[in-house]
Amino acid sequence: MVEFLNLCLSSISLVLITIAVILLIYNYLVNKHIHMLYLMIAWFSLLINNILYFMASFLLYVSTLAFIDNFFAIIGSLFIVIFGESISKKTPSIKKLIWFSFFIGLYSYSSFLNYFIYPLVSIPIYIIVLNTNIQVLSFLILMLTGSFLMPYYLFKIYRFAPSKLKNHTFISFIGGIIFGIIAPTLLIILRQASAIFILFSSVGMLIIVSAVFLKNPKLAFILPFRVMRLSVIDSDGGIMLFSHNWKSGEDIKGDEIVSAMFQGIISILRESLGKGNLQEINLEKAVVIAQKSKQFPIVYILIATSTSKSLKNSLNSFIKNFETKFSNTIESAINSRQILPATDIILDTFSFLPD
């Protein structure tokens, strides 16, 4: 009876994880967000891990199968961290990568000895026990690192999410707790993987995916920065064509001063240095991203507390939509010093930002 119950729970878990992976694949193919690719790889690796565990538990146990099974779990944990780093920072944390590299090396070496060397030679039992403990401990550290960091990343998303999306981010955070805290706690208590552990993990994985990243995958972009202002300026005369301030940029001076300042800086640097257009200025508490249009004599100025690839992707999306919408009116707007109505584009391309 217990065996049949475990079989049912494991089967349900595989179905839930498969659904989560399919949803992530579809979402990535539609939106091409890099953090979704990392999460998809993590979830797919954990799916393979669970499939191999299912085979070893109910079909045929082979020691090498357990060896491969655990490595897919480690890959899943690693890509959870890479996912979190991609939405939190411009580049992955070197300390976290060193941490993973060290314990992956330790686990690989001890596993190789246990699965392939020790069965072939006569080894004192205390050495086998010591090596087994090292293998188990390094595996747990790798798994728990990814598991515990997942709810941490999701809490940060919930904390900074716009109010209209708080409910979805909170549900996802609950999914993170189920996946990253409750399930690993069961693993530690039971001291081995089990059907109930896998079920909790799969439920958490599906909730995480469906609650936030399918509703608004750009929510993951809110972590690395605070956006202050986006301005569209005529690169020749410094005429402001559009400007939008977020709450974090309310203390920035007037549009005319900002547009004249950046127009002057861009012109001076371009003419005096002859090294191309300005792209980025780093300040003590902010960064200025400047991107010149390829079609029109205008430059886009985005001011934020820090930059990231995801922020630049959002800016590119704004530029594309802005130039598509106003392709026939930009020249006349420059001549007449007209402010173009692009707030709706801001609301669409930067809808994930806090209010």
Same domain as 160, residue 263: no
175-227 pLDDT, tens digit each: 999 999 998 888 778 777 778 888 889 999 999 887 666 666 666 665 556 77
At 326 the three-state DSSP class reads coil
- Domain match, 195 and 254 both: no
Q: For residue 246, give the 3-state DSSP assignment.
A: coil
Domain extent, residue 49, equals 2-222
Q: Is the dihedral of CA 8, 12, 18, 21 positive or negative?
A: negative
- Whether residue 256 is found in the same domain as residue 272: yes
| Residue % of the chain over a pLDDT of 90 | 19
Q: What percent of the chain has pLDDT over 70?
A: 79
Does residue 355 sit within a domain?
Answer: no
Q: Mean pLDDT across the stretch 267-290?
A: 62
CATH number of the domain within which 179 lies: 1.20.1070
Residue 277 has pLDDT above 70, yes or no: no
Number of separate domains in the chain: 2
For the sheet with 240-245, list strands across it.
240-245, 227-234, 298-304, 287-292, 280-282
In angstroms, the CA 223 to CA 200 distance is 27
Q: Are residues 12 and 109 in the same domain?
A: yes
Residue 81 has, within 13 A of its CA and on its CB side, a CA count of 22
> Do 140 and 19 fall within a single domain?
yes
Mean pLDDT of 223-240: 77
Dihedral-angle region of residue 193 (phi above 0 means left; psi in -120 to 50 means alpha; beta otherwise): beta
State whether 136 and 186 are in the same domain: yes
**Whole-angstrom Cα distance, residue 244 to residue 58?**
59
Q: How many helices (H) and strands (E) does the chain have?
A: 12, 5
Are 201 and 262 part of one and the same domain?
no
| 163, 251: one domain | no
Could you tell me the two tokens for 339? 């402010």
Q: Are residues 8 and 126 in the same domain?
A: yes
Same domain, 179 and 234: no
* Same domain (yes/no): 137, 198: yes
Choice among 6-10, 43-47, 129-133 with the minimum mean pLDDT: 6-10
137 burial type by CB count under 10 A (0-12 exposed, 13-18 middle, 19+ buried)? middle
Q: Is the pLDDT confidence value at 3 over 70?
A: yes
Cβ count near 129 (within 10 Å): 10
**Residue type, position 2, single letter:** V
Q: 215 with 239, same domain?
A: no
The one-letter code for the residue type at 146 is G
Alpha-carbon distance 137 to 262, whole Å?
Answer: 55
Mean pLDDT, the chain, whole residue set: 80
